[in-house]
Chains A and B, each alone.
Chain A
Amino acid sequence: HSYFAFIFQSLSFIYLQVSEEVNYITNMVRKDVLRTDRHHPFFSGTDDNSNVKSLFNILTTYSLNHPSVGYCQGMSDLASPLLVTMKDEAQAYVCFCSLMSRVNSNFHIDGDAMTLKFQHLTEALLYYDAEFFSYLQHHQADDLLFCYRWLLLELKREFAFDDAQFMLEVLWSSIPPNPPEKSLDLVEVPFNPVKVAPSVPSTPRQNHYANVCALRRQRSCVSNKSAESLAAILHRRAASVDFPNSISQHVLNRTFSQSNNHDFKLRNSMSEGECATSPISPVHGIKEESSSPEDSPSRSVRKIKDLKEFKKLTSKKDGAKGNDNSLESTPQKENNSVGLSRQNGTKDMFSESRRCYSDSDADIGVPVIDGGDVDVWQNPISTVSPEDESQIRNCCSGRETIFYKCLSSDKM
């Protein structure tokens, strides 16, 4: 009796896991298909439009059978013109699989392909229009993030639907053909609703720890930079006052041990591996998170004997990671005036805070330089003027065009 109960339990557990995976994907897909090209007569009307359902089926089927890709926002935009053209769910699915075999890396969790595309775009822009690039740099937009949607959707959303169909046809047919050797794979790993899939698609959430750890590594470098700049400032100050060393030393001591006289301690540095695997439960971990030593180098209270030692400490770049991780810290958040002054130091370095440009959303594509004056919702190319058309033609036919290069650089 208990044996059966056990079997039943484990089965229901498996069922729960699988349905969780299905739920996760269908929830995302549902939200997206309900807001994909609903303007077009093909998808218009109520939410139970059968074409919307077809789009849902295509994307869910693809995501469940391609666990390495899963579902990612933007895929619905690529599937929709295929469905409108093929007018048949199964055929559109085949087309979608074929298209995705070329572009699936754009939707991968690691983001490597997109990062590479941004890199290519930067290089191309530097080569073809260095002046424009320096303009972008001037406005802190040289990260080119406003091109994200252009690159991900191959410009699909930047045109009215019918124009986009035309443009995509020209664009896709100008890419050198790369047919599959045998037949096109419609499935990467067949989805098995009974067994737990061996590789559950990793979602951004599941990859969270990796991200956090990468970020920490990045940040410990940044905090070192800010410490360095502070050291430089203090050094200059001490030099300009031109007092004996004992005084600049005094300044340093005050800077780093003002509110508390905690001694500067170096624990045996915790290895990064440990830091990476230390379990942090989401809600519970927050307190720990916000006051954990490696998280708050800026708040840590240190006492440094002399300028030499301080310089030595701050000049270590990568080696200092461990130090940053192991500095004793106090869990005060805002009362520590020293911490604040240091944080401001960091801010000053970057005070020209980054600007990204309006690209996102819905109906728009106008870069907004300073908010305010520009109408954010205006779509510059919702209808194509003759000049634009010739531009598009140039864009599509010229093999040297920047976008063409970037779009076709799918291979790493």
Chain B
Amino acid sequence: MASVKVPEQKVILCGEYGVGKTSLFRRFATNTFVTSTDRKSTLGLDHYEKVYMTDEHQGVKLQLWDTGGMERVASITSSYYKFAEAAILVFSLDSPDSFNILSQHLLDIVTYAENAKIFLCGNKYDLKNQIHVTDADMETFCEQCHNLISGTYKTSCKTGQGVEEMFIDISKQLGEANRSRKELDSLNKNSFKITPPEGEPEDSCIC
């Protein structure tokens, strides 16, 4: 079977305990949501791949990574971040604490995965009357981060609102970045071509 090679993009989820990283992951993987009694804290690592078509011919394979509870094993932390093309900073819109701690996670990302594009995702958008993190707060955060944030989203894993849209947008941005990098690469390759200076080599080789 003919298969088109689709570039694989590692996307990691970062954020505090209980903001819904695994719920996002589950929406991504199986488009399901489980009630609170069925949930368990994440211990370990999980990842799932899915192809998003950014246009008719070009697809991007998002490989979403979810982790939890392993902050205490340093070697794991670094391998989780390593080679990530994108990182989603997840916080809970009803919890200012989970929002305020993001700068720590951001610091982790820029140190461990310096090339990752960073996205901000406010989860639990369905809790309409308990939302304590405003759009202005999110904007301020992005400004403070010197525009390191490539996109902000508000999602609800419970209703599914905004989740698919977020992943589509992320895959588009990664697809574009990928394309421009390829162009740069080909430019680069051409720039390495060396044409021997005429006549000179033979002369200088004679000793």
User: Interface residues, chain A, CB within 8 Å of chain B?
Assistant: 27-28, 31-32, 34-36, 38-39, 44, 47, 72-74, 76-77, 107-111, 114-115, 143, 145-146, 148-149, 152-153, 157, 204-205, 208, 211-212, 214-216, 218, 241, 243-244, 246-247, 250-251, 254, 258, 280, 282-283, 285-287, 289-290, 295-296, 337, 340-341, 343-344, 347, 350, 353-364, 368, 370-372, 376-377
Does B72 count as interface, using CB distance less than 8 angstroms? yes
In the bound complex, CA of A218 to CA of B74 (Å): 12
Chain B neighbourhood of A341, CB < 8 A: 185, 188
B25 lies within 8 A of A31 (CB): no
- Nearest CB in chain A: distance from B49 CB, A: 4
Interface residue? B37 (CB, 8 A): yes
Task: Tell me the dominant secondary structure on chain B's binding face.
Answer: mixed
A283 adjacent to B34 (CB under 8 Å) = no
Question: Taking the complex as formed, is B45 at the interface, i.e. its CB lies under 8 A from any CB of chain A?
Answer: yes
Whether B68 lies near A73 (C-beta < 8 A) is yes
Is there contact, CB below 8 Å, between A244 and B47? no
Q: Does B111 contact A (CB under 8 A)?
A: yes
The answer on a CB contact under 8 Å between A145 and B44 is yes
Q: How long is the Cα–Cα vector from A247 to B107 in the complex, in angstroms?
A: 42
Give residues in B with beta carbon < 8 Å to A.
8, 10, 17-18, 22, 25-26, 29-30, 32, 34, 36-50, 63, 65-79, 82-83, 97, 101, 103-104, 106-108, 110-112, 114-115, 144-146, 148, 181, 184-185, 187-188, 191-192, 194, 196, 201, 204-205
The answer to whether B48 touches A204 (Cβ under 8 A) is no
User: What residues of A have a CB within 8 angstroms of the CB of B103 in the complex?
Assistant: 282-283, 286
Asked if A208 and B34 sit within 8 Å, CB to CB, the answer is: no
Q: Given the interface contacts A148-B43, A157-B40, does A111 sit within 8 Å of B69 by beta carbon?
A: no
Asked whether, in the complex, the Cβ of B148 is within 8 Å of the Cβ of A282, the reply is no
Q: Which residues of B contact A39 (CB under 8 A)?
A: 37-38
Residue of B nearest to A244 (CB): B204
The one of B10, B18, B39, B107 that contacts A282, using a Cβ cutoff of 8 Å: B107
Q: Which chain A residues lie closer than 8 Å to B18 at the CB level?
A: 31, 35
Bound-complex Cα distance A251 to B195 (A) = 11
A376 in contact with B17 (CB, 8 Å)? no
A149 with B78: CB separation less than 8 A: no
> In the complex, which of the residues B30, B42, B107 contacts A377, with contact meaning CB atoms closer than 8 Å?
B30
Query: Chain A contacts of B146 at CB under 8 A?
Result: 286-287
B40 near A286: Cβ-Cβ < 8 Å = no
The answer to whether A362 touches B40 (Cβ under 8 A) is yes
Contact B46 A371 (CB under 8 A): no
State whether A290 and B110 are in contact (beta carbons under 8 Å apart), knowing that A34-B36, A376-B29 are contacts in the complex.
yes
Known: A241-B194, A243-B194. A145 touches B148 (CB 8 A): no
Contact, CB under 8 Å: B181 / A340: yes
A–B complex contacts, Cβ < 8 Å, 9 sampled = A27-B97, A35-B39, A35-B41, A146-B45, A215-B78, A337-B187, A353-B83, A362-B22, A371-B49
Name the distance in Å between B20's Cβ and chain A's nearest Cβ.
11
Given contacts A244-B205, A282-B107, contact A376 B46 (CB under 8 A): yes
The complex places the Cα of A244 from the Cα of B46 at a distance, in Å, of: 52
A353, closest chain B residue (CB): B83
Contact check, B36 vs A74: say whether CB atoms are below 8 A apart: no
Chain A residues with CB under 8 Å of B187's CB are 337
Docked CA distance A76–B114 (Å) = 34
Task: Determine the residue in chain B with the shortest Cβ distance to A222.
Answer: B82
The docked-state distance in angstroms from the alpha carbon of A361 to that of B30 is: 14
How far does the Cβ of A341 sit from chain B's closest Cβ, in whole Å? Answer: 5
Choose one: B30, B34, B49, B115; the contact of A370 (CB below 8 Å). B49
Chain A residues within 8 Å of B68, by CB: 73, 360-361
A371 near B47 (CB under 8 angstroms)? yes
Known: A251-B192, A360-B46, A362-B34. 9 other contacts (CB 8 A): A35-B41, A111-B76, A246-B204, A280-B107, A282-B103, A286-B148, A361-B26, A362-B22, A376-B29
Chain B's closest residue to A336 (CB) is B184
A185 to B155, CA, bound (A): 47
Bound together, the chains give a CA A216 to CA B101 distance in angstroms of 23
Q: Which 10 A-B pairs have the closest CB atoms?
A: A73-B69, A371-B49, A360-B44, A111-B73, A38-B37, A360-B46, A204-B71, A31-B18, A359-B44, A282-B103
Inter-chain contacts of B78 with A (CB < 8 A): 215, 218
Q: How far is the CA of A289 from the CA of B107 in the complex (A)?
A: 8
* Distance, CA A44 to CA B32, complexed state (A): 22
Which of these, B65, B107, B204, contacts A208 with CB under 8 Å? B107
Contact A251 B194 (CB under 8 A): yes
Q: Which residues of A are found within 8 Å of B112, using beta-carbon distances?
A: 215
Greatest chain A CB density within 10 A among B37, B42, B204 is at B37
The answer to whether B41 touches A337, judged by C-beta atoms less than 8 angstroms apart, is no
Q: Distance (Å) between the CB of A284 and the closest chain B CB?
A: 8
When distances are taken between beta carbons in the complex, the residues of chain B under 8 Å from A107 are 72
